Amino acid sequence: MGYDPENPMKDRITDIGPPHYEKMFPQVIKDNYGKWLYHEIVKPGVLKHVSETGAECYTVRVGCARLVSVEYIREVCDIADKHCDGSVRWTTRNNVEFMVDAESKVQPLLDDLASRGNKFPVGGTGACVSNVVHTQGWIHCHTPATDASGVVKAVMDELFDHFTNMDLPAKCKVALACCLNMCGAVHCSDIAILGIHRKPPMVDHDAITGLCEIPLAIASCPLGAVKPATVKDSSGKEIKSVKVNAERCMFCGNCYTMCPAMPLADPEGSGIAILVGGKVSNTRSGPTFSKLVIPFLPNTPPRWPETVAAVKKILEAWAANARKYERVGEWAERIGWEKFFEITEIPFTDKSIDDYRLAYDTWRTTTQFKFTSHIK
Amino acid sequence: MATVEHKGKTFNVDEDGFLTKGMEEWSEEWVDYVKSIEGIEELTDEHRKIIDILQDYFKKNGIAPMVRILSKTTGFPLKRIYELFPSGPGKGACKMAGLPKPTGCV
């Protein structure tokens, strides 16, 4: 039966969870589950897995905008129907993977993908820049300091050759979050693009009473800058509200998340910070957080040229200088961060010096350093 | 800001149907209105108990209680709260009690 708004609990199905993934397996995956011997990257975007039964699975990885229409998904399904017996999968970086069980089926699939313009760019494997893990931005969220889809498109247009080739020392993961809630992977990515604010919130005393649980707004502040206050609203009535100590505020926007009457986004104030050097894998060195290297770049839609140039500059400096297998963070740690700033020609500012609680451990407690020349 | 009329009373509500002025505008008519849109057939003493506890807690503390506190003070397990308010303690009970809309990553 269709949903009956008069009787919402009737015929209600709940707690059934996602369908079991095994139902969606291509036959070759089902038959060889847990039996894979080795794999190789045939060429950028094409993987080959060989099973102990001798079976082969070829995977073609294509870039995806993440934010897609049903039309796009139907087109992906059409391709999967035509070449892969109706099976397709998405990766954890939101690429699409088509799998076929014979080498002879690879080229027709690649030709088909290529015939659809640049809608399905093949790549994203090996030492490359794969897809950018990103967030909602101005498409859907209410706390962003920058856009997500727009910046990602501008950056990937510039780095496109690194998506379709494997010409880097190691893989370079790029991520974007549109505010420092950091939904996604910016805190642990080789190059991270992060939306930040630079102005304290404005308190709307007229609206705060019915909208906001004031103790939550106070407790949400990591620096204790939000204090309870009794103020007069615009009609002269005394109400309970909050006061923001602008000297203590670092514009994180947590209070706005908790209290809709404290907005802080600003066309000039909000923009982008760049962090580098994070990773999640345990290969060679352990996982690390990314570190702030560029404190502010303006929001310049639709192409964000400053951000694109900064990302490209960092990527190219790393690609030209790092050793094989060396991720951005490992490279920066080996040569020393002062050399990183010199080679990437990024001016070092006081904003990169940690001053939050456990900051001390991030300062230099040794005489070991290298002289650099780029800061006059 | 939208308004809702129910049984001769007018309420200021936001796009999700929460009272924008909070408990200042709350009344029995509001409870009746929310009942009609939240899939609640009959308002029982158990519904009343949850609303009273939410309102008392909010007046005293300025925040809505955490779910565990609501369960502990009412004696209703979360399952029972969902049976009473199918949309849950936030969207259902807090709305009916005239508390502010839950915020954060919800």
Residue-wise pLDDT tens for chain A (376 aa)?
699 888 888 899 999 999 999 999 999 999 999 999 999 999 999 999 999 999 999 999 999 999 999 999 999 999 999 999 999 999 999 999 999 999 999 999 999 999 999 999 999 999 999 999 999 999 999 999 999 999 999 999 999 999 999 999 999 999 999 999 999 999 999 999 999 999 999 999 999 988 999 999 999 999 999 999 999 999 999 999 999 999 999 999 999 999 999 999 999 999 999 999 999 999 999 999 999 999 999 999 999 999 999 999 999 999 999 999 999 999 999 999 999 999 999 999 999 999 999 999 999 999 999 999 876 5
Asked if residue A166 lies in contact with residue A198, where contact means CB atoms within 8 angstroms, the answer is: no
CA–CA separation, B89 and B99 (whole Å): 11
Q: Name the residue range of residue B10's domain.
A: 2-97
For position B105, what pLDDT does the model report?
87
Buried b (16+ CB within 10 A) or exposed e, A309-329: ebbebbbebbbebbeeebbbb
Please confirm, yes or no, whether B94 is among the known catalytic residues.
no
What ipTM was estimated for this complex?
0.92
CATH top class, domain A207-258: alpha beta
Determine the Cα–Cα distance for residues B92 and B43; give it in Å rounded to an integer. Answer: 13
Tell if the CB–CB gap between A211 and B101 is shorter than 8 Å: yes
Q: Is 3.40.50.720 the CATH classification of the domain at A21-115?
A: no
- The residues of chain A that CATH labels 3.30.70.3340 are 21-115
Tell whether A255 is within 8 A of chain B (Cβ). Answer: no
Please judge whether A9 and B22 are an interchain contact, meaning their C-beta atoms are less than 8 angstroms apart.
Answer: no
Residue with tokens 């760019």: A121
- State how far the alpha carbon of A76 is from the alpha carbons of A110, A119, A290, in Å: 13, 10, 34
Six-digit token pair at B100?
């502010």
Query: Residues A45, A61: contact at Cβ < 8 Å?
Result: yes
Q: Give A-chain residues touching B21 at CB under 8 angstroms.
A: 209-210
Domain count for chain B, please give it. 1
Q: Tell me whether residue B106 is in a domain.
A: no
Q: What is the pLDDT of residue A46?
A: 98
Longest alpha-carbon distance in chain B = 37
Q: Residues of A numbered 64-83 whose beta carbons fall under 8 angstroms of chain B's beta carbons: which are they? A: none
Cβ–Cβ of B21/A257 closer than 8 Å?
A: no
The CATH number for B48's domain is: 1.10.10.370
Cα-Cα-Cα-Cα dihedral of A299, A313, A251, A337, to 10°?
-170
Q: Where in the sequence of chain A do the CATH 3.30.70.20 domains occur?
A: 207-258
Burial A2-31 (b: 16+ CB within 10 A, else e): eeeeeeeeeeeeeeeeeeeeeeebbebbee
CATH class for the domain made up of A129-198+267-362: alpha beta
Q: Is B3 on the interface with A (CB under 8 A)?
A: no
Q: What pLDDT is attached to residue A274?
A: 98
Residue B64 at interface with chain A, using a CB cutoff of 8 Å: yes
